[in-house]
């Protein structure tokens, strides 16, 4: 492994981070408008036991949705559900176990959900990890690729027919893919997707987030072509003070702590754009967008014209 293969992705990723922090210094966090009630609608939020996922689930439940928090921490899940219900929310929440590093577990989760006969109106693909040391999922995929992208790709496709049936003209089902500004630094290496030749945690993470954006654009093209009442958008939450940063090098973590308190968004602020995409009237029928701080934003250069790569 050459030093360049590690240092270049690292530099590009941290440059993205600096740009985001500069934006957050000079721009206020997006404030949600008054959102319409969502009574009778059903949502799944992966990784919804804490951080951005929990705040997303919490807000959707407050609008009247029945929210299924999908995660692999049973105690955290029970605590999250209890906290939502203690707030006297109009909707309901429940926790259902799924291990997003296991495609077998994803399939089992989908079977359990289908057996209940529920509709599905909102799918928030939020679960993820960041910059872990080199390791593989039980299916043999690079960990970032498997957890952040492939598991959500599978989950979405296994639930897509249900989303299509649940959506109606003027009341579409909605898919939200949680990406990141780090996708701008991403390179999808079709010859080494699992990063086995040259591993960089920074490169692997940014690749997984780029893959989510490509998937968003490609899936929306397919949904539009078949006139389905389903939309899909990618969301960038900004730099948010969550446990995702626990895998940073010790020195970087020490430097991050004082900065995060001042410049990072809170989990609730980070969740605001995902909630907006899931529930706002302004987003009805709108898909194929990259949303940052409540606004439609241009993603990495030429991504919209890169559907050939997405199709591969």
Judge whether 205 counts as a catalytic residue: yes
Alpha helices in the chain (DSSP H): 3-26, 51-62, 74-86, 103-115, 143-144, 151-166, 201-225, 250-263, 267-279, 307-311
> Exposed, middle or buried: residue 43 (CB in 10 Å: 0-12, 13-18, 19+)?
buried
Strands 295-296 and 290-292: antiparallel
Secondary structure of 80-122 in the HEC alphabet?
HHHHHHHCCCCCEEEEEECCCCCHHHHHHHHHHHHHCCCCCCE
**Active-site hit among 143, 149, 184, 205:** 205
CA distances in angstroms from 304 to 66, 189, 214, 274, 288, listed in the order given: 34, 18, 8, 21, 9
Q: How far apart are CA 261 and CA 125, in angstroms?
A: 26
Measure CA of the first residue to CA of the last residue in the chain; give whole Å.
Answer: 27
Just list the catalytic residues: 205
């Amino acid at each position: 492994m050459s030093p360049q293969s590690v240092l270049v992705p690292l530099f590009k990723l941290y440059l993205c981070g600096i740009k985001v922090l500069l934006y957050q210094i000079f721009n206020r966090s997006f404030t949600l408008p008054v959102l319409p009630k969502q009574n009778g609608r059903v949502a799944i939020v992966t990784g919804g036991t804490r951080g951005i996922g929990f705040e997303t689930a919490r807000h959707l439940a407050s609008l009247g949705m029945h929210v299924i928090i999908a995660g692999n921490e049973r105690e955290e899940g029970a605590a999250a559900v209890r906290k939502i219900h203690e707030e006297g929310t109009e909707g309901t929440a429940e926790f259902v176990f799924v291990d997003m590093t296991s495609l077998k577990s994803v399939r089992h989760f989908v079977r359990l959900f289908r057996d209940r006969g529920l509709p599905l109106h909102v799918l928030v693909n939020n679960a993820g990890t960041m910059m872990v040391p080199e390791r593989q999922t039980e299916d043999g995929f690079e960990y970032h690729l498997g957890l952040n992208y492939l598991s959500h790709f599978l989950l979405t496709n296994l639930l897509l027919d249900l989303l299509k049936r649940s959506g109606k003209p003027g009341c579409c089902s909605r898919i939200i893919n949680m990406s990141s500004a780090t996708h701008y630094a991403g390179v999808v290496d079709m010859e080494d997707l699992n990063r086995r030749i040259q591993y960089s945690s920074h490169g692997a993470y940014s690749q997984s987030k780029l893959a989510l954006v490509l998937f968003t654009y490609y899936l929306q093209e397919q949904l539009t072509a078949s006139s389905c009442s389903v939309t899909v958008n990618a969301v960038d939450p900004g730099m948010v003070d969550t446990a995702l940063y626990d895998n940073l090098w010790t020195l970087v973590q020490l430097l991050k702590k004082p900065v995060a308190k001042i410049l990072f968004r809170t989990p609730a602020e980070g969740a605001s754009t995902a909630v907006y995409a899931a529930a706002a009237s302004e987003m009805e029928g709108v898909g194929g967008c990259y949303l940052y701080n409540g606004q439609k934003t241009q993603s990495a250069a030429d991504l919209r014209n890169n559907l050939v790569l997405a199709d591969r």
